[in-house]
Amino acid sequence: MSNYIPTIGLEVHVEIKSKSKLFSSSANSYGMATNTSVNVIDLGYPGTLPTLNKEIIRQGIRACKVLNCKINRKMHFDRKNYFYPDNPKNYQITQNRTPIGTDGYVEIEVDGIKKKIGISDIHIEEDTCKSAHRGNVSLLDFNRAGVPLIEIVTTPSISNDKEAMAYLTKLKELLFYANISDCKMEEGSMRCDANVSISKNENLGTRTETKNISSIRNVGLAIQKEIERQEKVLENNGKINEETRRFDDKLEETLLMRVKETGNDYRYFIEPDIPYLILTDEFIDDALKTLPLLPDELREKYSKVGLSSLQIEKLINNRSLNDYFLGLLDYETNYVTAVNLLLSDISSYLNKHNKVITDTHLSYEKLVSVVKALEDKEISNKNVKDLIDSLMENDLTLKELKKEFKIENITDDSFIKEVITKVIENNPDSVNDYKSGHDRALKYLMGQVMKETKGAVNPKLASDMLENELNK
Ligand code: ADP
Ligand code: MG
């Protein structure tokens, strides 16, 4: 084992959800036909003037809150000057000197140990065009030009690949739940650059920056591989250069892209076409009013109503079910039973039909009545399975459905007793097993009772009666 200490800092860009772009009225939506959401501002025509979309500032304020950052009340935008084909203005409008948020953190947990990953700043900026290379030509899609981004920069406080992955997972969850971004790395709405250095003492080593990493898992891999590469270089008395690398996910290694430009090359200056912004308390409060409950708040709330941590994580991983369940908390019901239904039969139905729960006819009242019927043993889980399509697809009440499907709970003692007597007669071996202490035999016999009656008897009643008969 080597005795180098790795240090990692991550720069993450997320596309902010909004109706229109950062400085123009073109739609900000993913997946439109190329170059159809474009106007003169996005194209960088000379003489056009940007207008700031205030909703993006609101989103930035929400991001500050969620990431525990101090909000910069007075800020401006800056021009970052550079030439590149995807940047026709020859500058990008960003926030260099007055980022909207500073000094925040995200709390992560790795192997049971909690740690705060520091965030040095978050700033708002516009995206560039998207380029695509086809043989000898390069094509540009201006739909992405001017799409609002937040860049979130950590301090060099991440110690290994696991922490980096935990940080990204948490960041994604937070921004997604806050409705700031959909954070899909595979669609490019979340992008991560990893800065990595190693050192044998507390002075940080020279870092490299690895770009173009396409998934959280690959960020972990890229970091691991880059640490190994740097160790090899230093062990062979080589020198680490400050450079930009990229991760090749087929080779599973980082490759040199270019030697790093230094910050001064960008000739940052204050963007003259956008006025200074001064954020008032009212504006900030107003932006924060619409912030929904965040995952850790949900976790606390759900564990109070008795959900297991597995149920909680499954719910939080499914935003639409989670939001539905949150509404259910206004009703009185057995939440654990309700969540079990949501995560089993209801989820299978939704997956099979490729629907979200709000597309169905499962009202809260209906769900509550199903939970109650299950609790009272009026219906069985098998009945729920049989009824699931109807429960989700029409407006009949559970009572009406039971009638239609002839699910009646037979509570007629003499009928149940008749069936039990028959089952006992036909299964002498199982009866003997039960009498010699094999509990499973009871389950089997009960199964036979349900089979004989096609599940139509009240299961609790039948099982009590069966046990009584057996113990006679
Ligand atoms: P630049 O402006 O050149 O991108 P920054 O100072 O903003 O540089 O740092 C960018 C990222 O690199 C941050 O996430 C920071 O934590 C990280 N970083 C800086 N120095 C190191 C280092 N020696 N090792 C690892 N990460 C570093
Ligand atoms: Mg940077």
Q: What is the mean pLDDT of residues 168-190?
A: 95
Q: Residue 160 C-alpha to ligand 1 middle, in angstroms?
A: 15
Q: Which atom of ligand 1 is nearest to the CA of 260?
A: 3
Rounded to the nearest angstrom, the distance between the alpha carbon of 16 and the centre of ligand 1 is 23
Q: Which carries the bigger pLDDT value, residue 185 or residue 450?
A: 185
Q: What is the pLDDT of residues 358-416, one digit of tens each?
A: 999 999 999 999 999 888 877 878 888 888 988 899 888 888 877 777 666 666 677 78
User: Residue 16 in contact with residue 125, Cβ under 8 Å?
Assistant: no
What integer pLDDT is reported at residue 408 of this predicted model?
Answer: 64
Is pTM beyond 0.75? Reply is yes
Site to probe by mutation for ligand 1, drawn from 8, 10, 195, 264 as the one with most ligand atoms within 8 Å of Cβ, is 195
- Contact status, residue 82 vs residue 266, Cβ threshold 8 Å: yes
Closest C-alpha to ligand 1, atom 1: 263
Region 293-320: mean pLDDT is 95
Please give the number of the atom of ligand 1 that sits closest to the Cα of 205.
23
Three-state helix/strand/coil letters over 415-465:
HHHHHHHHHHHHCHHHHHHHHCCCHHHHHHHHHHHHHHCCCCECHHHHHHH
Q: What is the mean pLDDT of residues 219-246?
A: 95
Domains of the chain by range and CATH?
A: 5-282 (no CATH), 295-404 (no CATH), 413-470 (1.10.10.410)
Report which bound ligand comes closest to the CA of 10: 1
pLDDT digits 0-9 by tens, 4-55: 999 999 999 999 999 999 999 999 998 899 999 999 999 999 999 999 999 9
Residue 390 Cβ inside 6 Å of ligand 1? The answer reads no
Residue 454 has pLDDT above 90, yes or no: no
> Cα torsion at 314, 320, 322, 328 (round to 10°)?
-140
Contact 64, 104 (CB under 8 A): yes
